Structure 1
Amino acid sequence: MLNRVERILVAANRWMLILLLLAMSCIVFANVVLRYTTGDSIVWAEEVARHLMVWVTFLGAGMVLRFGGHVAIDNLHGALGTRGARVVRAIVAAGIAVFCLVMTYFSILYVWATRFQTTAATDIPMAWIYAAMPAGFMLMFVHLLFVVRSYILEGRFAESPEMDAQAAASL
């Protein structure tokens, strides 16, 4: 049951990233083509592309964490024995978990504080754009929960035939 939930979460996260990147690419491409062929550009294109990039960044951070694509210095893990390395990895995982939860809380407060501000070109409430922060940090925490056991015990992250740490880092 838990494996099914995990597969659905990863698939939904991946497809959301694909769709957001596709939308952003199409908007930017159309804007560039229009600018160079007609001399006019889409007024809202740059703003919407920027906001989509914010969402892609926060929603993609959990996937990158899941596959071990974030920057890490693991010299200490290698220098310690198996037991010491597990302790260090447990401390690192606990630190990441606390960070994600604290950032989720404070980003919710930030979203609430900006609920009446709107964007310049599209008049969208800024809270919709900033909602990427709590969504991303909570998603990162959930991805961490799925990989924390294998990370602490063996020092490895999730594995997938189509995704590795290098591919995850390029998200």
Structure 2
Amino acid sequence: MLDRVERALVACNRWLLIVLLLAMACIVFANVVLRYTTGDSIVWAEEVARHMMIWCTFLGAGLVLRFGGHVAIDNLHNAVGPRAARAIRAVVVAGVGLFCLVMTYFSVLYVWATRFQTTAATDVPMAWIYVAMPVGFLLMFAHLLFIARGYVADGSYVESGEMGADAAASI
């Protein structure tokens, strides 16, 4: 059951990123083409593309964590014995988890504080853009919980035929 939930979460997360990146690329491409062919550009294109990039960043952070694509310094737990290495990795997981939860809390406060501000071109409430932060941190926490056991036990991340740590880092 938990495995099915994990697969569904990863699939939804990936497809949402794919759709957002595709839409962002289409908007930017159309704006560039219009600018060079007609001399006019889409007024809202740059703003919407920027907001989509914010959402992609926060939605993609959990997937990058899952596949080991974030910057990591692993010299210490590689230099010590297996028991000490597991303890170090457990502290790292606890620290990252605590960071995600604290950032979720403070980003919710930030979203609440900006609920009356609107964007310049589209007049969308800034809270709709900034809600990417708590959603992203909660997703990262969920991905962390799914990989924590394997990471603490042997320092491994999720293996995938279509994505490794280098590919995840490029998201």
Return the TM-score normalized by structure 2.
0.99
**Offset at residue 161 of structure 1 (A):** 1.3
| Partner residue in 2 for 1:83 | 83
Aligned residue number for residue 27 of structure 2: 27
Cα shift at 1:56: 0.2
Percent identity (aligned): 77
Q: Which runs of 4+ in 1 moved over 2 A?
A: none
| CA displacement 1:24-46 (0-9 Å, x = unmatched) | 00000000000000000000000
Paired with 1:161 and 1:78, the residues of 2 have a C-alpha distance of 25
1:128 matched to which residue of 2?
Answer: 128
| CA distance, structure 2, for counterparts of residue 75 and residue 99 of structure 1 | 22
> How is 1:89-100 mapped onto 2 (pairs within 5 angstroms)?
89-100=89-100
Is residue 2:66 matched to residue 1:66? yes
2:108 corresponding residue in structure 1:
108
CA RMSD of aligned residues (A): 0.4
Give, in angstroms, the shift of residue 160 of structure 1.
1.2
Cα distance, 1:68 vs structure 2: 0.3
> Using the alignment, how far apart are the partners of 1:168 and 1:19 within structure 2?
17
Following superposition, the deviation at residue 159 of structure 1 comes to 1.1
Letter of the 1:119 partner, please give it: T
**1:18-76 Cα deviation digits (max 9, x unpaired):** 00000000000000000000000000000000000000000000000000000001000
Deviations 1:83-142 (A, max 9, x none): 010011000000000000000000001001111100000000000000000000000000
Residue identity in the other structure for 1:39: G
- Structure 2 partner of 1:164: 164
Mark the runs of 5 or more structure 2 residues left unpaired by the alignment: none
Q: Number of aligned pairs? A: 171
- Name the amino acid aligned to 2:108: I
Segments of structure 1 that go 5 or more residues without pairing to the other structure are none
What's the TM-score, normalizing by structure 1? 0.99
